[in-house]
Structure formats: C-alpha cells, structure tokens
Amino acid sequence: MKKKLLLGLAAFTLVSTALASCGGNDNGGGLVTDDDGNIVYKNVEITFTHVITGTDSSYLTNLINEFNEEYEGQIEVVANSVAPNDLYTSLPNLTSFRRNADVMLIHADHVLQFAGQEGRTTGESAYFRELEDIMEGAKVTLEAEDFPPQIWENMRFNDHQYGIPFDLHMAGLYVNTTLLDELELEMPTNREEVIECAKVAVEAGYTGLPIATGYPDTYYYQNGFYNYGGHEIVVEGDEYFDESQTLSDGRVVVAQPGVYVNDASKKTAQSLRELIYEEQVSEPRIVTDGGLQDFYDGKALFNLDGIWLLNDFINHQTTGEKHYEFDVLPASTLFESTANKDYTGDIATNGHIFVLPKNTHDGEDETRQHASMEFIKWMLEHSTDWAKSGKIAAYAPARETDEYKAIPHLSGFGDIENFRCIEPNKYSYVAFSPSWQITTYVKDFSNSMNGPAPTDAQIDAKLAELYDDGLDQVKMDMTGI
C-alpha cells in the first residue's frame, strides 16, 4: 500500500505541475451572453489533459490547433498529454488538491470506475461532473441516438451522463490477402476456416496466426470471454450468483467477479491452447508486437492487433520483403464456430471519452465549463480527421460523411451494433483486469508448441488464483485500503 501511495504522489506531481499556471478568462467569472442568449466567450483559456500518446498525438494536436485558430480571441485550449496509468493513479490526488484540468479524455473502461465513486455527503460523483445541465447551459445538443447505444449508456451512472464518447477502438484480424491468393485460399468466415488457412500457411513456411503478449492476447481474451457468454460482474438474478460471495460498499451491491465463475474464461483459455499446442498455428511466448514484423514483411497470413495500428499496416504494404494487400475481419471471427452455442458476435471495444472533472485547478468557473462543452462538440463534429489515425468515430453524424466512409478498412472491424464495452458497474474494471492474465498463462506455459500444454485442471487452478485477485481488487476499491 505504501508503494501504491508513493506512485500515486509521484504521478500527481507530474500531472499537476503541467497545470500550475493555466486557466482563466476575461468574462469576469460569470456568463456573458448576447441579445439572443448565446454565450460570448472572450479569451477563455481551458486546460485539456488527455491520454493520447505516440503517433496519434499528432492527429490530436492538429485538431486542437485548428480549434484554437477558429476560436482565436474566444477560447484557447491548452493541452497536456499524460500516460494513462499516471493519470488514473494521480486522479484522486488531483481531485483532493483541486488540480484537475477543465476537460479530460480518458479510456471508456475507467469512466465509471471514477464516476461511480460518490462523495461522502453529496451522493454525487466525487470526480466527474454531471453533464446534462452543462450541455443545456452551453446550448450543446447531443442525443443518445448520435452514439452507439451501448457505449452511450455505459457512460451513465445513477441516471446521469458523465462521459461523451469521442472514438471507439478494438482489435481486428488483419489478413494478408496477397498471401491468401498465393496459397489459393478463400477469405475465412469463422474459427474453423481461420485455423485451416493458418495451417496451410504454416505448412508453406509462413507465419500463421501469431498471438502476442500485451494488447493482442488481452483482446483475444476479451473477445473470447464475450463470445463464450461471459459477464464481468455477477449480480443477483444471474445464473452464477453466489450470495455468500456478495460484497457491498453500503450503496452498491456486487457479487464475485463474474469473469471467474462461469465457463467463458475457461473456454477462452482452452481455445488459445488449441491454437498453440494442438493446431500449432501460433508459437508460444511471442513478445509484445512479436508477430508484426512478419506481417509487415509479407510473411504472415494473419495478425490480431489493434485498429490504432491500421496506418502502420498501410504504410508497410510496399516497404517489406514482400509487398502485400490486406483486409480486416472482426476479432469475433476467431470464436464463431458451429461448436460454440454461446456465440454472440460481440466485439470487445474500448474508447476515448470526454469527461469534465470536478475540483479544477483554477476554481469553479461556469464559463470555462461551458467553453469546455463547446470544445467537445467541435471535436465531435471534426472527428473524421481523428478517425484517420485509426479509430471508429463515436459520433454518428461524422460516420455518415463521405470523407469518413472513404477511410479504408474501418468497416472491416465489425458492425457498430456489435461493439461491446465493459459493463456499467463501477467495479467492473478492477474486478475484470486480473482475468487477462489467463491468456498469458496459457501462451507462456511452454517454450515450444511441442512442449506440455496446460491441462484443464491447471487452467482451473489459475482461474481460482485470479478470482482471489479480482475479489481483493474489488474489496480494496470499496474500502480504499
């Protein structure tokens, strides 16, 4: 616990320093409106902390610069990029010491983790603002039908909206169509066909279906979990509810993390065991991004990886040893099988979400709150440019433009109706996060495909261990210990 506290303070210092001299406006702290009741912004400076890093940051920076140019003399956005773990670790201290930015862009699976933490006396979120009144005051109209229904609803807690989706991102199954043609294979449509194609590729001396450590095996787990009938949190009325394992923080009652108590996790682990040790289309112990270079060189038939790497796959088409064309299949394809009666077609999805934190660094200012909402609406209206970084635009009007539809391969990642975010329970993330280790456990069990594979009993034992970790995480989040 001491180590966790020190890490939190270190991250707090890093994030809060960037906000030390930002914020303010020339509106005198109150709203100024014209004769038609429209807000007049005069030199309003708002701070914007986001978790966008790497090459994606250039796309975001270009959008912010364009906004600042268009709103010159009215609103200026001062942006600060922070590594995700640093921001999430430091958020409690940023809030306690009133050092939050005016706007944040964070991951969808963390929104309710914080929005659901209620103040001791108010019963409202201790971290984020309810957005309905701010949107109305800023005359910003956003309707639920403007966003994928499940994603929009997952940003709600106690009947209030706390997050506005900016983008959706997920894994996809990249397919080297040039190699597919060379091997005289048809585009696969389900798990059995993917495995058969991968086996032909391996027999011909190519890489089949590498599952690497990190986001690939995490997304393999999440998609398998959903498509074998899993739910992150078990609550009363669910099949696997166990009253003896029920935990309560005084307001919200949850049972044990559902990820460990039905067959979905076990079936996902078994399905990965099949790929590595039985069908032998993926090597074990592939390091993070270990399968990418073979695909870039035109030597791999498949690669499971994130939509955020789409431009890298495009840029490498003519730079590797073998030039290639490619297409993308939904990650759920890996679990569509005649033997899988629980298959839903759900696609595990995360996203970047706008939130307005409480306890901002320069006091409570209604003008800055409304200016922040103006900025968010503008970003949504221009999210086609952001989608070009390799994202699905969450805002439906952006997705309906010809410019957006012309972005290659986005539709290959699946139908938006099938995108599924983590369940809307404030304990979902902490309960769910240890479970991802089961795929790493299977993948790293042996040094070679011919080595011993984990037995069902060993998988059960590992899941029991992760179950205890999940319970401990929920208890810790409930008590703050």
Predicted confidence band at 321 (pLDDT cuts at 50, 70, 90)? Answer: confident
* Average pLDDT for 13-38: 62
- The three-state secondary structure class of 257 is strand
Q: Give the angle subtended at the CA of 218 by the CAs of 214 and 222, to the nearest 5°.
A: 170
pLDDT in tens, 437-453: 999 999 999 999 999 99
Q: How many helices (H) and strands (E) in the chain?
A: 19, 13
DSSP-assigned states of every residue in 4-67: HHHHHHHHHHHHHHTTTT--B-SSTTS--B-TTS-B---SEEEEEEE---TTHHHHHHHHHHHH
Predicted confidence band at 243 (pLDDT cuts at 50, 70, 90)? Answer: low
For residues 153 and 302, the model is more confident at 302
CA distance 60 to 432: 30
Radius of gyration of the chain (CA): 23
What pTM did the predictor assign?
Answer: 0.90
Mean of the per-residue pLDDT values of the chain: 87
**Residue 402: how many other CB atoms lie within 10 Å:** 7
* Average pLDDT for 197-212: 97
Contact assessment for residue 123 and residue 356, using Cβ atoms and an 8 Å cutoff: no
For residues 241 and 319, the model is more confident at 319
CA distance 273 to 449: 10
pLDDT in tens, 29-80: 567 888 777 899 999 999 999 999 988 999 999 999 999 999 999 999 999 9
